[in-house]
Amino acid sequence: MNLVDDLGEPVPLTGPASRVVSLVPSLTEAVEVSAPGRLAGATDYCTHPADLDVPRVGGSKYPKIDAVLDLAPDLVLANSEENRPEDVERLRANGIPVWVMTASATVPAALGSLRRILTQAYDLAEPEWLVAAEEVWREVRPVRFHAVVPVWRKPWIVLGRDTFGGDVLRRVGVANVYAGSAERYPRPDVDELRAHFTADADLLVLPDEPYVFTEDDGPDHFLDARYVLVSGRHLTWYGPSLVEAHAALTETLASL
C-alpha cells in the first residue's frame, strides 16, 4: 500500500489498519464510529464515543510515547496542529506508521482528509455520517452576525484566520472579525476585544472547550455584548459530530 498522509509523508501500511492509536479526540470519534473495535488506544481527552473503553496514553500535546509503543499499533493518527513533530518522528523512528492529518481551514477540507483516512488507511466505504455532513455543510449562509470568538482566557486567545471553527461559523452565517488577522490564533488584550463591540462586532461566541466558558466566566468581561455559549465539540471537532453541530448551531443562532 503506497499511502501518504496530508503532509505528503509515507504511511507504510501493509494492509487495512486494524490496531490504531489515535492522538486526536475528533479523529478518535470518527474512526471508532466508522470502524468499531479497531482502536487500541487513545488520549485522555478522547471523550467520544462516550462508551469508548481503550487504554489511555496521556494528552494530545504530550502523549506518553512509551505507552503508545507498548500497545504495538499498526497505525497512529495525529494532527499537524495538535501533536508535536518530535513525537511523530519518534514513533516513525520506532517503525510505527503515522498518518498526520493537516490542520484543515475549512469544513470541506477536513471532511476530505477524513475520507482519505477512512477509505485508504482503513479500506472502508464512505461512512453515511460523512456523506450527510458534506451535504449539510455545503451551503454558506449570508452573514447575520459579526463575532469575536475567544477559545482561551488567561491570556485571551481568539479564532483568527484560516481556522476550522471560523469556517464552521461562517457557514451558518457568523463572520469572524479576526478572520483577516495575520495569525490563526491572535492574543489580543481584553480592551481590544471590548473595542470591537463598539466598532465591528455584534456577537460574542463562547465555546466550552478548550477553555470552559460559562454564564459566570466569559460574558462578565463584556457586559454590553450579546453572547452565545456553544459546544466546543460542535465548533472545532471534525467527524460525526458535524452532523448534529449544524442543527445545534443553527438553532442557537435562530434564538437571537
Residue pLDDT, tens place only, 203-255:
999 999 999 999 999 999 999 899 999 999 999 999 999 999 999 999 999 99
Q: What is the pLDDT of residue 20?
A: 98
Last residue of a domain, one of 135, 166, 190: 135
Structure-block grid coordinates of residue 161? 484566520
CB 129 within 8 A of CB 243: yes
In this structure, the answer to whether residues 57 and 94 fall within a common structural domain is yes
Grid cell digits, residue 231: 459546544
Of 135, 151, 186, the residue that ends a domain is: 135
Residues 44 and 131 in one domain: yes
Strand partners of residue 207: 230
Residues 161 and 126 in one domain: no
User: Same domain, yes or no, for 63 and 108?
Assistant: yes
Of 94, 113, 135, the residue at which a domain comes to its end is 135
C-alpha cell at 76: 497512529
For residue 229, which phi and psi values (nearest 5 degrees)?
A: -95, 130
Query: Based on the domain organization, do 25 and 131 belong to the same domain?
Result: yes
User: Vertex 175, ends 174 and 177: CA angle to 5°?
Assistant: 135
Is the peptide bond prior to 219 cis by the omega test (within 30 degrees of 0)? Answer: no
Q: What angle do CA 139, 213, 83 make, to 5 degrees?
A: 70
Residues 82 and 177 in one domain: no
- Say whether both 82 and 30 belong to one domain: yes
- pTM assigned to the model: 0.94
Beta bridge partners of 152: 157
Are 11 and 24 members of one domain? Answer: yes
Mean pLDDT of the chain: 96
Instruction: Output the CA angle 203-180-205, nearest 5 degrees.
Output: 20
Examine the pLDDT at 197 and tell me if it is beyond 80: yes
Q: Which residues span the domain enclosing 172?
A: 139-254
Q: State whether 149 and 248 are in the same domain.
A: yes
86: CATH:
3.40.50.1980
Are 154 and 56 contained in the same domain?
no
Number of domains in the chain: 2
